[in-house]
Chains A and B, each alone.
Chain A
């Protein structure tokens, strides 16, 4: 088996670049969706808000400053090729260092506290990042990265539905969650949904769903149809841009699924704001 050696510094550099760029430049999937939303929005206030968001994204890109002050907590899904060996450091340290440098050198906000309940002292470099790693065949490292703001993260929910709830139960839980969130998570939102697996697997799938471009549907036509139906139902709720009323409450709904237990049907809803920042790279 041929081994490929990658220098830890190369990984640090790649992660730093991912985080700086995703915070300054909104993806085409979101900018195209905002433009479409502005064209179709019937509320005048809603239209004005969408124009401001597009203007905001232009300013951020021109000046290379963050789109949103909440530059989030860093989350990564890594596919690590089993033939890769890291030299001059460890993979974990190299990734954390990339996040640290991006948030310090890139003028991104440090929003992480060391202990959730007692001390809540800011770590001052936005680490630790949350890294989910899968070992895969090959000699490459694929990193799918996102930064998650907590205005929308706080509006997310998970429920252990059981099989008899059926598709109607799934839809009801998702729509109830979005309705409860209302104007809080910076609409127009992106909704990431994970169905199946176990308790934590559903939540991870939902997170991963928020990192998929919203112009790409689930390859399974039944789930793609569910995505479209949910998007249409959410946009009938009328919260609109900034929650001030209108037709565009969501820009996209992404569903991911996984096999589950005969007794279960977990559903996780991870809500993301319109600044749905995600970027990927292959090393």
Chain B
């Protein structure tokens, strides 16, 4: 069964999502990857204000390809999440509620997800052209100089993902035999 969910994530929805659930996500999400996370983290360490309010938001780890004329965005599949592990707990402490990426997370991130009530979704790595069809608009919010690594706001409709780690710390990612 596929659950349809809307962003921003409510506490009720977060508590209801279980590892392994297939979801179709609609609403608005932020994007950000390595370089943007580094800058956000530096601001947090200095106690300065962030260029975007992340409270209640869901962030998609992605660096989209350029949009062809007539497309809202180019292919935009998930990037590996573990590279954001160093920065994620500080963002979760500031109210980030959802993360979308691919692959493993550290124990520190999972602990912070349980503490802060946050969900980690996996999008299908490499399904970038397919996923881009669910992205209806793309607006630059911050760090335009970073190009593909800037922070964008995506408006999505039925964005396909799977709950990889739920807010209770349960994971559906295979551990390997």
Contact digits for A248-275, partner B, Cβ 8 Å, 1 yes 0 no: 0000000000000000000000000111
Q: Select the stretch in B67-75, B87-95, B109-117 that faces chain A.
A: B67-75
Q: Is the CB of B176 within 8 A of A238?
A: yes
List residues of A (68-110) whose CB comes within 8 Å of B's CBs: 68-71, 107-110
Q: Is the CB of A68 within 8 A of B126?
A: yes
Say yes or no: is B76 at the interface (Cβ < 8 Å to chain A).
yes
Say yes or no: is B54 at the interface (Cβ < 8 Å to chain A).
no
A contact patch SS:
loop
Contact digits for B49-81, partner A, Cβ 8 Å, 1 yes 0 no: 000000000000011111110010011110110
We find that the number of chain B residues with CB closer than 8 angstroms to chain A is 45
Say yes or no: is B104 at the interface (Cβ < 8 Å to chain A).
yes
List residues of B (120-177) whose CB comes within 8 Å of A's CBs: 122, 124-133, 146-149, 160, 162, 164, 172-177
Q: How far is the CA of A3 from the CA of B62 in the complex (A)?
A: 49
Q: Is the CB of B122 within 8 A of A109?
A: no
A45 CB contacts on chain B under 8 angstroms: 20, 162
Say yes or no: is B7 at the interface (Cβ < 8 Å to chain A).
no
Say yes or no: is A281 at the interface (Cβ < 8 Å to chain B).
no
Q: Is the CB of B63 within 8 A of A69?
A: yes
Q: Is the CB of A107 within 8 A of B126?
A: no
Say yes or no: is B18 at the interface (Cβ < 8 Å to chain A).
no
Give the 7 A-B residue pairs with the shortest CB-CB distance, closest first.
A186-B125, A184-B103, A56-B130, A60-B129, A109-B65, A56-B127, A59-B129
Interface residues of B, Cβ cutoff 8 Å to A? 20, 22, 35, 62-68, 71, 74-77, 79-80, 82, 102-104, 122, 124-133, 146-149, 160, 162, 164, 172-177
User: Could you name 19 residue pairs across A and B whose Cβ atoms are closer than 8 Å?
Assistant: A52-B127, A52-B160, A65-B74, A66-B129, A69-B63, A69-B65, A69-B76, A107-B65, A120-B35, A122-B147, A122-B149, A151-B79, A151-B125, A179-B176, A183-B104, A183-B174, A184-B82, A242-B124, A243-B174
